[in-house]
Structures are given as C-alpha cells and as structure tokens.
C-alpha cells in the first residue's frame, strides 16, 4: 500500500514536471508580444559576452545585440539576457527559448539548415596566442612539434593539425580560460581560436600575451534567428549596416578589445542576404 | 540513428579510452585502497591518523575538483608530467586523480569488511605469534575481501562512470562522453538517439560488472 502511494506521488510529480516544461517551451515563442526580447549571448567569453554578476553580461556581442535590439525598437531594459552555450544555440532558437542569438555564432551551411542567420556583423579570423616574450613562434608552421591548446569541440585546432598538416600536439580543455592558465604556466606553447576570443582574454591580462595576427580561417559571426524569420533578418541586417555607418561598431570594438593590441577590422562585412 | 551508427568507430574509440582509464585506475585504486585499509587498522596511531585524514579529505572532495587539481594544479602550476606526449600525459594525470579518489571508497568498503571479522580471530592470530603484516595477509584481508566483493563491484561501476569527468576537468582526456559532446558540437548527430546510444554503451560496460561481482560475492561468501 505504501509502495503504491509512493509511486503515485512520483508519477504525479513527473506529470507536473512535464506540464511545467511544456509550458516553458510553448510560452517562450511569443515573448516579443509582452514588450521584451530575449537574446542569447555567451556568459563565459571575456570581451564578447561575459557575465559580471547579477545576470548582466558585457562584451562586444552584448553591445552589438543591444544596438540591434535598439534598432528593432527595444530599450535596453526590455532585453532579457539568456546564456547560450555553443551546444544549445540551435535548440534555443528552434524551441523559442530565445528570440535571437548573438554568441560568437559562426554562419555555416549545416547550421543554416536549422536556423536563419542575419549578418555577419563581424568576420573573425583564426589566430594564435602565445606568451608575450615568445619569439620562437611567429607563424602556424612554427608550431611543428610544439603543444597547442584548444577547447574541446572547437574546429580551430583541426585547421592547424589536419587542414594545414602541421604536427603540433593538442591539449584539449573544457574552455579557453583553462588554456590561458596552461599557457601562463608554460605547459602549452600556444592557444588557437578566433582572434576575437583570444583578444578578449589577452585584454584581461594586458601585456602577458600576444596575438600573432594571422588570418588562418574566417569565422563569420552571424545573428541567429529562428527558421523562417526573413523579415526580422532584413531588419537586423539594416541595423548592422547602421551600426557600422554611425561608428558604433568601431566604438564597441575599441571598448572591448582596445587593451589587447588586436588589429580589429572596422569595415562592415558583406551581408549574406536573408533566405 | 543512422548518423549515430555512421560515427560508430568514434564511439568505439571513445569507449576504448573509457575502458583503459577504468582498468588502470581500478588496479591502482585497489592497491592504494588495501594500503589505506591496512594503515587504518594498524597498531600505529600516526598511520591510522594519516589514512583517516587522507580518506576523509579526498572522499569528501568532488571528483571534478580532484581532477582539476591534477590538470591545472599538479601539471600546469607545479609542472608534474608523466609522459612526453600530451595524449598520454593527460591520461596518466587522470589515472592519478581517479585512483586517488576511488582508493578512498575501496578503503572504506574494505574497512567495513574487516569489521565483519570476529575480533577473537585476530586475537587468536596474535597469540599464535603472527605479526601485524602476517595477520593482515593470512587472516584479515582474505576474509575482508571476500565479504566486500559486492560493494567493490559498486565502486568499480562508479569508477567507470566517473571516467567521464576526466574529459572536462582541465585534462581533456579522450573518453566516451567527450566523443559524445564532440558529436553534438559538430552538429552531425541527432541529440536523443546519441544520448541513448552512449547510455547503452555504459550499460554494456557496467551491467556485466555488476553481474560478475554479484555472482562472485555469492560464491566467495564467508560461511559463518
């Protein structure tokens, strides 16, 4: 009898949990109607999107997102920020958890099948970060026989070891903060990923690291939108053009990467056009 | 499911590292566990204290922290390295962390086994003139081990699943769950079938363990 009571309770709780998640999923899509916009950004990427307590992120992506939202008619206090990790960006857009993703989200053909992209709003280049006093590594080829750090799941390391065929040993970590720690301690010789991400870390500890300024692989950062939002996509593209025209883009870049001696590009990347 | 099966060699490769981590860590943690148990029941108070402090400290620390300490503390900050190649260096660092952690649970299981032995036996052995080491080797450990085969099986299963932490905690060891996350990151596979596929993989590893240890513990039980 007791066992039955327990199982009923469990079943009830499970049903309740299901109902709650169902509500959460369904209610997210029409958040724009109540006068707010939900934007997914990174919370762990210095210089791009980093949470600095109280759920308020800061960084280049956040500045861009705020500007775009402004052009779409949302005041900064009408923006609800949500953390978007690399792995859940598509899911967030498909399920309507967020209205927009601005999270170092590279435009690729695979992703285009799942979501729509506006932009790109910035074209990052894959680059290499080394210790400031390192004179031995000046190009990707110098990494032959050295140790390279990259975050698990990033394609950047493959560009060097497979596409370019350079025999560097790979140390994988969970995130780039760990790579930077390993680089500081000299366990790895170099860290590779998008120059924006590297510059974000380098700016945190100015003078410790240097970017090599290479252009190995383009990463075209787009604004992720749910599939089928062509109209919204056009609006976002207009906002991005406006952002570059009135100099806001340069201002954002300088504010977030100025410390890193990072030669960012201030020209608007050519828009892809909306499908 | 096709996309998952198309990546089957990746899955197998991931699990092969899971097995390597589990097997070697199991050997080391078993050895260290026996030493710790011997220390905890030894007549020397200092040894007892040291073993207790170690077990309580490491057992109550999250495994993620233990492995992060191995990766960022021992390796990065203190420069400890086990191998020339990164791949094996992080592997041995992970084995170190997993063994240090699992040994506590092995030791606790063994100690409960030791406690099942009637004290009269140990007194009898002492009165026959057996030294502490002889007493452990001939009287205590054989009986203690036989009575804790079941719990040790649980420890081994926990260790198998704990290897998944080794890819996230500053080390990036290749193992099954890392391959799973990579497959998600590349966006090549549907999420649910992949989750289920990897879960089945762990079932395939762990179910026989539970079964073997269960059977063994029945067979080897000390009749009292």
Question: Which residues are CB-neighbours of A177 under 8 A, at least 6 positions away?
Answer: A44, A201
Does the beta carbon of A146 lie under 8 angstroms from any beta carbon of chain B? no
Distance CA A86, CA A219 (A): 14
- State the pLDDT at residue B88: 86
pLDDT single digits (tens) A155-199: 788 888 888 888 888 888 887 888 888 898 888 899 998 888 888
How many CB pairs below 8 Å do chains A and B form together?
57
Q: Considering only CB atoms, which chain B residues are within 8 Å of A173?
A: 71, 170-172
Percent of chain B with pLDDT over 90: 50
Q: How far is B137 from chain A (nearest CA, A)?
A: 43
With vertex at residue B70, the alpha carbon angle to CA B68 and CA B74, rounded to the nearest 5 degrees, is 125
How confident is residue B129, by pLDDT bands cut at 50, 70 and 90? very high
DSSP 3-state helix, strand, coil percentages of chain B (rounded to 5)?
Answer: 80, 0, 20
Nearest-Cα residue of chain B relative to residue A148 = B86
Cβ atoms within 10 Å, residue A207? 10
Taking contacts as CB-CB distances below 8 angstroms, the residues of chain A near B181 are 87, 152-153
Give B185's contacts in chain A (Cβ within 8 Å).
Answer: 86-87, 152-154
The answer to whether the peptide bond before residue B90 is cis (omega within 30 degrees of 0) is no
Q: How far is A32 from chain B (nearest CA, A)?
A: 28
- CATH fold, domain A35-123+219-260, is D-Maltodextrin-Binding Protein; domain 2 (3.40.190)
pLDDT of residue B132 exceeding 50: yes
CA A69/CA A121 separation, integer angstroms: 14
Q: Please name the residue of chain A whose CA is at the shortest distance from the CA of residue B168.
A: A174
Position B19 scores a pLDDT of 92
As a whole number of angstroms, the distance between CA B14 and CA A268 comes to: 42
Contact B186 A152 (CB under 8 A): no
**Beta strands A100-101 and A37-41: pairing type?**
parallel
Does B190 touch chain A if contact means CB atoms closer than 8 Å?
no
Whether B59 has a pLDDT exceeding 80, the answer reads yes
State the smallest CA–CA distance between residue A96 and chain B in angstroms: 18
Interface of B with A in 76-115 (CB under 8 A): 76-77, 79, 85-87, 90
**Phi-psi domain of A261 (left: phi exceeds 0; alpha: psi -120 through 50; beta: other):** left
Range of the domain at B23: 16-175
CATH H-level, domain A125-218: superfamily? Periplasmic binding protein-like II (3.40.190.10)
**Residues belonging to chain B:** 224
Distance CA B33, CA A60 (A): 51
Alpha-helix runs per DSSP H in B115-190: 119-127, 132-134, 141-147, 149-162, 176-185
Contacts of B208 (CB under 8 A, 6+ apart): none
* B183 vs A120, residue with greater confidence: A120
Average pLDDT of the segment spanning B47-61: 95
Domain ranges, ordered by start, for chain A: 35-123+219-260, 125-218
Facing residue for B185 by CB, picked from A86, A91, A182: A86
Q: What is the rounded average pLDDT of the residues A19-24?
A: 43
The reply to whether domains A35-123+219-260 and A125-218 share a CATH topology is yes
With beta carbons under 8 A apart, name residues in chain A contacting B77.
Answer: 185
**A213 Rama class: left (phi>0) / alpha (psi -120 to 50) / beta:** left
Q: What is the CATH number of the domain that holds B104?
A: 1.10.3720.10
Residue B147 lies in a domain: yes
Give the CA distances from residue B203 to residues A34, B4, B23, B88, B216, in Å, rounded to whole numbers and listed in that order: 47, 17, 16, 27, 19
Q: What is the DSSP letter of B110?
A: H
Q: What CA–CA distance (Å, rounded) separates A119 from A233?
A: 8
The DSSP string of chain A is: -HHHHHHHHHHHHHHHHHHHHHHHHHHGGGGGGGT-EEEEE-SEETTTEEE-STT-EESHHHHHHHHHHHHTT--GGGEEEEE--GGGHHHHHHHTS-SEE-SS-B--HHHHTTSEEEEEEEEEEEEEEEETT--S-SSGGGGTTSEEEEETT-SHHHIIIIIS----EEEEESSHHHHHHHHHHTSSSEEEEEHHHHHHHHHHTTTTEEE------EEEEEEEE-TT-HHHHHHHHHHHHHHHHTTHHHHHHHHHHGGGT-----SPPPP----
- Residue-level pLDDT at A34: 63
pLDDT given for residue A258 in this prediction: 79
Higher pLDDT, A22 or A109: A109
Rounded CA-CA distance A45/A198 in Å is 9
Average pLDDT along chain B? 88
- At residue A131, φ and ψ (nearest 5 deg) are -65, 145
Binary contact (B72, A182; C-beta < 8 A): yes
A165: contact with B, CB 8 A cutoff: no
B169/A86 Cβ within 8 A: no
CB B138 within 8 A of CB B130: yes
In tens, the pLDDT along A107-130 reads 888 888 888 999 799 998 888 999
Task: Say how many domains are in chain B.
Answer: 1
What's the pLDDT score for residue A31?
42
Does any domain span residue B215?
no
Long-range contacts of the stretch A141-147 (C-beta < 8 A, 24+): A141/A166, A143/A168, A143/A189, A143/A190, A144/A168, A145/A169, A146/A189, A146/A190, A147/A171, A147/A187, A147/A188, A147/A189, A147/A190, A147/B86
- DSSP string spanning B24-36? HHHHHHHHHHHHH
- What pLDDT, on a 0 to 100 scale, did the predictor assign at position B188? 64
pLDDT tens, position by position, A34-89 = 688 999 998 888 888 888 877 788 899 999 999 999 988 898 888 999 888 877 88
In a domain, B221, yes or no: no
Residue B79 corresponds to which tokens in the numbers above?
């420069």
């Amino acid at each position: 009898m007791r066992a039955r009571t327990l199982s009923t309770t469990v079943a009830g709780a499970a049903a309740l949990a299901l109902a709650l998640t169902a509500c959460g999923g369904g209610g997210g899509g029409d958040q724009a109607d109540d006068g707010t916009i939900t934007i997914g950004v990174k919370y762990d990427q210095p210089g791009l999107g980093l949470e600095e307590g109280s759920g308020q992120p800061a960084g280049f992506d956040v500045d861009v997102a705020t500007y775009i939202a402004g052009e779409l008619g949302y005041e900064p206090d009408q923006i609800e920020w949500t953390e978007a990790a690399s792995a859940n960006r598509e899911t967030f857009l498909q399920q309507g958890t967020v209205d927009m993703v601005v999270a170092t989200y590279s435009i690729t053909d695979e992703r285009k099948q799942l979501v729509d992209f506006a932009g790109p709003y910035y074209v990052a280049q894959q680059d290499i970060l080394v210790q400031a006093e390192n004179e031995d590594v000046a190009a990707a080829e110098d990494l032959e026989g050295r140790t390279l750090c990259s975050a698990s799941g990033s394609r950047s390391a493959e560009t060097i070891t497979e596409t370019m065929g350079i025999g560097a040993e790979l140390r994988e970590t969970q995130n780039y903060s760990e790579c930077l720690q390993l680089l500081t301690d000299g366990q790895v010789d170099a860290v590779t990923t998008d120059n924006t991400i590297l510059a974000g870390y380098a700016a945190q500890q100015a003078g410790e690291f240097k970017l090599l300024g290479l252009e190995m692989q383009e990463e075209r950062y787009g604004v992720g939108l749910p599939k089928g939002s062509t109209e919204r996509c056009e609006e976002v593209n207009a906002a991005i053009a406006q952002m570059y025209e009135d100099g806001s883009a340069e201002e954002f870049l300088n504010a977030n990467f100025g410390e890193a001696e990072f030669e960012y590009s201030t020209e608007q990347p050519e828009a892809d056009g909306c499908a | 499911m096709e996309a998952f099966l198309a990546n089957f060699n990746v899955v197998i490769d991931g699990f092969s590292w899971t097995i390597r981590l589990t097997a070697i860590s199991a050997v080391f943690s078993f050895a260290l566990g026996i030493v710790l148990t011997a220390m905890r029941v030894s007549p020397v108070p200092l040894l007892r204290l040291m073993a207790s402090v170690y077990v309580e400290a490491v057992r109550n620390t999250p495994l993620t922290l233990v492995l992060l300490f191995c990766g960022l503390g021992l390796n990065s900050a203190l420069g400890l390295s086990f191998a020339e190649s990164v791949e094996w260096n992080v592997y041995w660092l992970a084995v170190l962390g997993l063994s240090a952690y699992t040994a506590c649970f092995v030791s606790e299981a063994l100690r409960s086994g030791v406690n099942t032995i009637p004290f009269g036996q140990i007194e009898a052995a002492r009165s026959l003139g057996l030294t502490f080491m002889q007493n452990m080797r001939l009287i205590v450990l054989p009986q203690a081990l036989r009575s804790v085969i079941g719990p040790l099986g649980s420890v081994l299963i926990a260790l198998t699943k704990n290897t998944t932490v080794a890819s996230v905690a500053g080390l990036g060891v290749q193992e099954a769950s890392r391959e799973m996350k990579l497959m998600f990151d590349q966006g090549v596979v549907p999420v649910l079938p992949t989750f289920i596929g990897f879960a089945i993989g762990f079932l395939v590893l762990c179910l026989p363990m539970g079964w073997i240890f269960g059977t063994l513990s029945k067979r080897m039980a000390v009749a009292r």
